[in-house]
A and B are shown apart, each in its own frame.
Chain A
């Protein structure tokens, strides 16, 4: 048997430095991965771990006590109430806006889309401030509202308005590109078959965007429950009355009730983790039906 030496060498694996032209050397690759992961560990995972560590440092009993404190319970209830009002409001708006923008051609459309995104570029503090300027005691409307006993500033309606403002674009900006991508063909077909506008919307449009809609609702809800700046400005921090969970965390923290503050914070952190899990599951499962509203 003759063994051609060159052939024999060819059976060996190629030398290490020979790699496809579009990858880096393993050392470079692992260094970059290590840098990236270390950065995430320090900036994301450590704070997250700190929340749960600090929350449970005083023991499980103290944790349970902090959460079941009447003020904490009131804050949880208020937070759920705020989300329960503001998310459906923005849902209806998102559907209407997406229907108008995605299914019709009209002048000023791109301006409208820009305006819908506007709340994202406004500081949360300003989002709260504008309602104080509009409805506060020093405003034009203020005295009139006071005479009629309508409380907006330092009351639940103000908190709801501020929350709606900061979560305003979430559902619309998820639905608009999704519905634009799907075009108008199916709706036109349904109408040509005799369906009414509502029937078309319910039976044709809505099923096509349901996962994207859910995705938008998820993000909207997370922000609604967690909003701090805007709500802080307008709430007046009245314990048990206008305190949402994030505000309650702040009050406890400023009173040096650290364990209690972190206990309530841990609930919000769990909500964040749950949101991430559901969001990721939606992205993996229904990637085609979601135009990931990334960036906010």
Chain B
């Protein structure tokens, strides 16, 4: 009986260790990730719908979410444009230092966010290397939403490059050649043949950059100035609520953000599934 049930669940194999490996994996996954996340969901459900709604639609919460999303969308858009250019020059051109440039793109993944945060603040503060040039122009960067965008652009910089790059490497130049033999100019050829194939990768990169930016905390809090309603991001609001021992408030904002993250994860998976169907490869 047990054997029959098992064979319906998994295909038989001569390799041992399935039970041990899967058992450990599930136990560890549950303890570290699933149960704690469930605790968050249970706690927010315990608030009751009206209370949750009151906390989630609080003016300060709404403007924090608006800033987190607005700045993240702008940062992801900036990185989509420049990420596309970077992927293009790294894949298609040969120039001195190309391999070093390729390596340095992952810096935001490797550099602790707090370090990035204080470094960016030092640069963009009114007396910083860049800030001192912006101030006379009447442009305040640090301690404003612009600073938030700058920090988010830094932390989400690699996503578009790293999703577009491998896809671009795989694209055979024969499509561009075919367009050229049919009379298409260079720009026409790239727009009509390369861009459609890169679209899923660009969308995935944008979504990944967005997802990372919305949750980002460390690099932003130093440069943002954290003025409630102006330059206060949603993750910071969670921390502030916690420091006020307002667990209900923290839980409500966190649950809302978690729901949004899961929605974005779903969108990313849908893009990739669509891309596999349409183009025969993932983004």
Q: When chains A and B are docked, how far (Å) is the Cα of A282 from the Cα of B111?
A: 19
User: B74 at interface (Cβ–Cβ under 8 A)?
Assistant: no
Evaluate contact between B18 and A261: CB separation under 8 angstroms.
no
Q: When chains A and B are docked, how far (Å) is the Cα of A271 from the Cα of B123?
A: 21
A247-293 residues at the B interface, CB under 8 angstroms? 247, 249-250, 253, 258, 261-262, 265, 268-269, 271-273, 275-277, 279-280, 284
Evaluate contact between B261 and A122: CB separation under 8 angstroms.
yes
Minimum C-beta distance from A175 to chain B (A): 12
Evaluate contact between A47 and B154: CB separation under 8 angstroms.
yes
User: A24 at interface (Cβ–Cβ under 8 A)?
Assistant: yes
Complex partner residue of A268 from B39, B89, B107, B115, CB under 8 angstroms:
B115
Instruction: Determine the chain A residues whose CB is within 8 A of the CB of B196 once the complex forms.
Output: none
User: A226 at interface (Cβ–Cβ under 8 A)?
Assistant: yes
Evaluate contact between B119 and A279: CB separation under 8 angstroms.
no
Minimum C-beta distance from B74 to chain A (A): 14
Complex partner residue of A50 from B13, B123, B216, CB under 8 angstroms:
B123
Evaluate contact between A222 and B110: CB separation under 8 angstroms.
yes
Which of A29-37, A62-70, A143-151 faces chain B? A29-37
Evaluate contact between B85 and A36: CB separation under 8 angstroms.
yes
Evaluate contact between A279 and B39: CB separation under 8 angstroms.
no
Instruction: Determine the chain B residues whose CB is within 8 A of the CB of A133 once the complex forms.
Output: 36, 39-40, 43, 247, 251
Number of residue pairs spanning A and B whose beta carbons lie under 8 angstroms apart = 297
Minimum C-beta distance from B247 to chain A (A): 6
Q: When chains A and B are docked, how far (Å) is the Cα of A33 from the Cα of B88?
A: 9
Evaluate contact between B82 and A118: CB separation under 8 angstroms.
no
Instruction: Determine the chain A residues whose CB is within 8 A of the CB of B154 once the complex forms.
Output: 43-44, 47
A188-214 residues at the B interface, CB under 8 angstroms? 188, 191-192, 196-197, 200-201
Complex partner residue of B93 from A29, A48, A232, A284, CB under 8 angstroms:
A29
User: A238 at interface (Cβ–Cβ under 8 A)?
Assistant: no
Please classify the interface of chain A as helix (H, G, I), strand (E, B), loop, or mixed, using the class held by over half of its residues. Answer: helix
Evaluate contact between B86 and A39: CB separation under 8 angstroms.
yes
Evaluate contact between B153 and A246: CB separation under 8 angstroms.
no
Evaluate contact between A296 and B116: CB separation under 8 angstroms.
no
Instruction: Determine the chain B residues whose CB is within 8 A of the CB of A23 once the complex forms.
Output: 92
Instruction: Determine the chain B residues whose CB is within 8 A of the CB of A180 once the complex forms.
Output: none
Evaluate contact between B110 and A272: CB separation under 8 angstroms.
yes
User: B218 at interface (Cβ–Cβ under 8 A)?
Assistant: yes
Residue on A with the closest CB to B115? Answer: A265
Q: When chains A and B are docked, how far (Å) is the Cα of A213 from the Cα of B95?
A: 32
Instruction: Determine the chain A residues whose CB is within 8 A of the CB of B92 once the complex forms.
Output: 23
Evaluate contact between A93 and B24: CB separation under 8 angstroms.
yes
Instruction: Determine the chain A residues whose CB is within 8 A of the CB of B108 once the complex forms.
Output: 44
Q: When chains A and B are docked, how far (Å) is the Cα of A123 from the Cα of B88?
A: 30
Evaluate contact between A123 and B261: CB separation under 8 angstroms.
yes
User: A81 at interface (Cβ–Cβ under 8 A)?
Assistant: no
User: B103 at interface (Cβ–Cβ under 8 A)?
Assistant: yes
- What per-residue 1/0 map shows which CB atoms of A13-41 lie under 8 Å from chain B? 00000000111110001001101110110
Tell me whether A126 and B107 are in contact in the complex, defined as CB-CB below 8 angstroms, given that A133-B247, A225-B112, A265-B119 are known contacts: no
Evaluate contact between B114 and A246: CB separation under 8 angstroms.
yes
Q: When chains A and B are docked, how far (Å) is the Cα of A14 from the Cα of B264?
A: 52
Evaluate contact between A124 and B115: CB separation under 8 angstroms.
no
Instruction: Determine the chain A residues whose CB is within 8 A of the CB of B265 once the complex forms.
Output: 114, 118, 121
User: B16 at interface (Cβ–Cβ under 8 A)?
Assistant: yes
Tell me whether A115 and B29 are in contact in the complex, defined as CB-CB below 8 angstroms, given that A104-B18, A107-B9, A165-B36 are known contacts: yes
**Can you list 29 contacts pairing A with B, beta carbon distance less than 8 Å?**
A36-B89, A39-B85, A40-B86, A43-B153, A44-B157, A50-B119, A100-B18, A100-B22, A105-B13, A107-B10, A114-B265, A118-B37, A123-B257, A133-B251, A165-B33, A188-B14, A200-B15, A226-B115, A228-B217, A232-B218, A249-B114, A249-B118, A250-B114, A253-B222, A265-B119, A280-B102, A294-B162, A295-B159, A296-B109
Per CB-CB distance, the 6 closest pairs between chain A and chain B, nearest first, are A123-B215, A226-B112, A106-B10, A228-B218, A197-B16, A229-B217
